[in-house]
Amino acid sequence: MIKYDPGYMSLSDSAFREKKERADLLSLHCSLCPRRCGAGRLHGQAGACGAGKEPEVAHFQAHFGEEPPLSGKHGAGTIFFPHCSLHCAYCQNHQISRQSGVRYPLSAEQLGLIMVRLQEQGVHNIDLVSPTHFVPGIIAAVHAARDKGLRVPIVYNTNGYETADTLELLSGIVDVYLPDFKYADERTGLRYSGVADYAAYAKEAIEAMYKQAGDLLLDENGFAQKGLLVRHLVLPGYTQESMNIIDFLKERLGTAIGLSVMSQYAPCYRAHEFAELNRKLCVAEYDEVVEHVQEAGFTQCWIQELESNAVYFPDFGCSAVFGNDLSR
Ligand code: SF4
């Protein structure tokens, strides 16, 4: 039987405090993400991502729409943070990432209490969605929550646009890294997400995550305890780029990482501004990517059904954000 205690259980109080201090320093003239926009976050100045001084939460719930090792039987304990370092034209969470949806400012202690409350609901993990710009508050929140009885793994659910310095602060705190790997070509990242260096940062970040967390480790029930699970959303017309991403992962990290291939792309937000993105995936292009993934031989791989592109679209203005099936 595999028994793994979350890394934060063995982190000393002084190590937590030191990480928080270093994270605060990074946000003084903010360089928490590769944009390094220099915003004086500690003095309340909002950054290019939109985040200010205090952590904010847009929504939290037990979520049943994540990959099976995360949602399990009782759901992933998702905490959705507003704002984002990327400006993706097709963002499914645009109501909270780019627009002025509901946001609740809160202290690190209150954020820690949300984590404990989710655990009391029986979730398998704490799934931090778009967390990077709030890393200082998250470090303090996990510290506070650990002291209040938090015992489930921490999942870092990120767009993949990360710096080595910020990831290093998360060593010993994050158990499961869940990064997107959106683009292998810088031109695609610039066109759709507004940054010219996504691929370089994402590759470096995903390798650093792997060094910290290793292959995906599941417990005897198949629930994620530790490791790396990479997500890739296939975009219409970009099958070759998808296959380049698969090849990179296999060559650099091997085939025992977790891999989630997603078909849920559907045009939303500003996608209509790009004619090539203004359609869903077609069967032939998704099949081509799936075949490539299967030939690569990943041993822990989840492949979404093509029909799922309507199911996973959130509406953060609705009480059941993911509909009744995924928000039980
Ligand atoms: S996290 Fe936000 S404030 Fe900090 S560097 Fe990135 S965009 Fe700027």
Q: What are the pLDDT digits (tens) for 234-291?
A: 999 999 999 999 999 999 999 999 999 999 999 999 999 999 999 999 999 999 999 9
Residue 163 has pLDDT above 90, yes or no: yes
Residue 327 has pLDDT above 60, yes or no: no
**Range 21-326 classified under CATH 3.20.20.70:** yes
Average pLDDT over residues 159-167: 98
Concatenate the DSSP letters of all residues of 104-134 into one string: EE--HHHHHHHHHHHHHTT-SSEEEES-GGG
Contact indicator for 231, 65 with CB cutoff of 8 Å: no
Contact indicator for 150, 141 with CB cutoff of 8 Å: no
- Both structure tokens of 304: 């979404």
**pLDDT-based confidence at 320, cuts 50/70/90?**
low
From 25, 28, 37, give the residue whose CB has the most ligand 1 atoms within 8 Å, as the site to mutate. 37
pLDDT on residue 61: 96
pLDDT on residue 310: 57
Q: 84 CA distance to ligand 1 centroid (A)?
A: 8
Average pLDDT over residues 114-134: 98
Q: 168 CA distance to ligand 1 centroid (A)?
A: 17
**pLDDT-based confidence at 311, cuts 50/70/90?**
low
Q: 48 CA distance to ligand 1 centroid (A)?
A: 6
Q: For ligand 1, atom 3, which residue shows the shortest CA distance?
A: 47
pLDDT on residue 21: 98
- Both structure tokens of 52: 């200010």
Which of 87, 49, 324, 73 lies closest to 195 in space, CA to CA? 87
Backbone CA torsion sign across 89, 90, 91, 96:
positive
In the chain, what are the domain boundaries? Answer: 21-326
Q: For ligand 1, which residues put their CB under 6 angstroms from it? A: 30-33, 35-37, 39, 41, 47-49, 51, 85, 132-133
Q: 132 CA distance to ligand 1 centroid (A)?
A: 8
pLDDT on residue 102: 76
Q: 78 CA distance to ligand 1 centroid (A)?
A: 22
